[in-house]
A and B are shown apart, each in its own frame.
Chain A
Amino acid sequence: MNNKIIAAILIIIIALIGVGAYAMNGGFQEKQILRVSTTTSLEDTGLVDNLETAFEKEHPNIDVQFVSAGTGIALKYAEKGDADMVIVHDKKKEQQFIDDGYGTKRYPFAYNYFYIVGPTSDPAKIKGMKNATEAFKKIMEAGEANSSVKFVSRGDNSGTNSRELKIWNNTKANYNSSINGSSWYIETGKGMGDTLVIANEKSAYTLSDSGTYLAFKGNITLVPYLTSGKDLLNVYSAIPVNPEKIKGVNYNASMEFVDFLLSTEGQQLIGNYGKEKYGQALFIPLYGKGEPT
């Protein structure tokens, strides 16, 4: 082949890659990007896809991009300036995030409950219990006595994981010496959906947000035992990243999204989500009321 032809082909390929990369990064659209880091439970239930579609229809100039990770990592992304807003569910960490100056304000928009789920055989006999702490204590005692009782933990610093640790803490047992590392206690380090599947395979108990559990109910045989109560309340909130602390974040678009989440339309969308596909709503919108306690 002639050298000139080769050179010409090379230049064409380079140009194509350049144009392609520019287009794929959104270069040709006059759109601003709103990057939201959120939790795996919202992604695994599919809610964020619906919110994105509805929001972009009203705001065609904003491209919403969801990055999903556990609450801990989602907040880290925002602290490093890699997200414009977070949507998470861990009040304590959220408060810390705001106190440290990274977030402007917490906007709670919906809630549901964490479920303590387990195998139908219920080897730890927690059926009928009302108190999450007592149930956890019972699982721990049964796990130590009986090798067929297991508990699966997310172990990923997510909102669900920190709630689980909080409940263990309430049992007054020493987490580091008598729970973590025990043979009945399994850490997955994965998202909620994966963790439910693993708990299902191992016939183990686990703590799951109700949304993900209901979305997965068709694929697994685990049943919920405890489904309400103060200890299990799970509030989701949106927090825009503070533009004064972190330069260059898209605060205006964040607030547009918050307005949409809290609008009647957004709240209805959240309240109806899942009814068709799973036979019941996965999230309870707040409709402007204060968050339940």
Chain B
Amino acid sequence: MNEFLNGMLQAINLILTLNPELVEITTRTLFISLSATFIAALIAIPLGGLINFKKFKGKRSLINLIQTLYSLPTVLVGLFVFLLLSQQGVFGDLNLLFTPTGMIIGQTLLILPILIGFTITALKTVGKDLTDLSISLGASEFQTIYTIMREAKYAIMAAVILGFGRAISEVGVAIMIGGNIRGATRVITTTISLETSKGNLELSIALGIILLGIALIINLMLNQIQEN
């Protein structure tokens, strides 16, 4: 218990004095996970809309598949992207293994299913009545989709925030694709894992506090959005 309290105090000290390593790792983590979330949202929202509004064969199976992938194991994505990006992989020539860009690609793939799935659900819940209403008011197909998208925007934003939460807290992709290289690809979760193996509990605890802080902010934002 003493060890924990001691670590806690030193951790708070590290945060208050803005320890350079701590700041560097936190900035990198935020950059990678925010980028991944943004790119995933750019792909997922239109794609989710498309799947929701179009009628086609196998639609239900496709949605089932997407929902199954919500619990896609991070290490599986890590392994898959590792094989693609390795020098012997299909995209080996791009030299993206063990780089932040590689990690962004991995995290994007990881959270895409959640974003697409939740976008579909969000659109479905506002869907029917509003569709009928806007068509009866003489709206074109495009205008109808636009109206529904606008109406569902809070639910979609909630989905995006959830995706970000999954991206920033995962370890599998970060360690397998990033390689946990000091000064290059080390992020909060991989540092906690490494520093704990090295017995440096202070930095681990400090980063843990920051990660929890980010989670708290995410949660507050989610609440705010849901109240709207």
A residues contacting B by CB (< 8 A) are 10, 13, 17, 20-21, 24-26, 35, 40, 43-44, 46, 49, 52, 63, 65-68, 80-82, 190-191, 193-194, 197, 215-216, 218-219, 246, 248
Which residues of B5-51 are within 8 A (CB) of A? 28, 31, 35, 38-39, 42
Q: Across the interface, do B199 and A219 meet the contact criterion of CB distance under 8 Å?
A: yes
Q: Across the interface, do B199 and A43 meet the contact criterion of CB distance under 8 Å?
A: no
A21 / chain B contacts, CB cutoff of 8 Å: 35, 100-101, 104
Closest chain-A Cβ to B10's Cβ sits at a distance in Å of: 15
Closest chain-B Cβ to A122's Cβ sits at a distance in Å of: 24
Q: List, sorted by A's number, 8 A–B pairs whose CB atoms are closer than 8 Å.
A: A17-B39, A35-B98, A40-B197, A81-B88, A82-B97, A82-B98, A193-B199, A216-B199
Q: Across the interface, do B97 and A24 meet the contact criterion of CB distance under 8 Å?
A: no
Closest chain-A Cβ to B197's Cβ sits at a distance in Å of: 4
- With contact pairs A80-B86, A246-B87, A248-B87 given, residues A67 and B98 touching in the complex (Cβ less than 8 Å): yes
Which residue from A67, A80, A215 sits with its C-beta under 8 Å from B180? Answer: A67
B38 and chain A: residue at smallest CB distance: A13
B60 / chain A contacts, CB cutoff of 8 Å: none
- With contact pairs A17-B39, A21-B104 given, residues A82 and B197 touching in the complex (Cβ less than 8 Å): no
Closest chain-B Cβ to A289's Cβ sits at a distance in Å of: 31
Interface check B62, CB cutoff 8 A:
no
Q: Across the interface, do A65 and B28 meet the contact criterion of CB distance under 8 Å?
A: no
Interface check B219, CB cutoff 8 A:
no
Q: Across the interface, do A68 and B38 meet the contact criterion of CB distance under 8 Å?
A: no
Closest chain-B Cβ to A1's Cβ sits at a distance in Å of: 10
A43 / chain B contacts, CB cutoff of 8 Å: 194
B180 / chain A contacts, CB cutoff of 8 Å: 67-68
Which residues of B164-198 are within 8 A (CB) of A? 179-184, 194, 197-198
A190 and chain B: residue at smallest CB distance: B197
Provide the bound-state CA to CA distance between A110 and B194, in Å.
24
Q: Across the interface, do A65 and B98 meet the contact criterion of CB distance under 8 Å?
A: yes
B184 / chain A contacts, CB cutoff of 8 Å: 24, 26, 63, 65
Q: Across the interface, do A24 and B198 meet the contact criterion of CB distance under 8 Å?
A: no
Q: Across the interface, do A82 and B198 meet the contact criterion of CB distance under 8 Å?
A: no
Interface check B92, CB cutoff 8 A:
yes
Q: Across the interface, do B198 and A44 meet the contact criterion of CB distance under 8 Å?
A: yes
Provide the bound-state CA to CA distance between A193 and B195, in Å.
10
Provide the bound-state CA to CA distance between A218 and B197, in Å.
13
Interface check B134, CB cutoff 8 A:
no
Q: Across the interface, do B92 and A81 meet the contact criterion of CB distance under 8 Å?
A: yes
Contact with A along B80-106 (1 / 0, CB 8 A): 000000111000100001111100100
B88 / chain A contacts, CB cutoff of 8 Å: 80-81
Extra A-B contacts (14), CB below 8 Å, given A25-B101, A246-B87: A13-B38, A20-B31, A24-B28, A24-B99, A43-B194, A63-B183, A63-B184, A65-B98, A65-B179, A67-B179, A81-B87, A81-B88, A82-B98, A215-B198
Closest chain-A Cβ to B88's Cβ sits at a distance in Å of: 5
Closest chain-A Cβ to B125's Cβ sits at a distance in Å of: 23
A246 and chain B: residue at smallest CB distance: B87
B197 / chain A contacts, CB cutoff of 8 Å: 40, 44, 190-191, 193-194, 197
B38 / chain A contacts, CB cutoff of 8 Å: 13, 17
Q: Across the interface, do A81 and B86 meet the contact criterion of CB distance under 8 Å?
A: yes
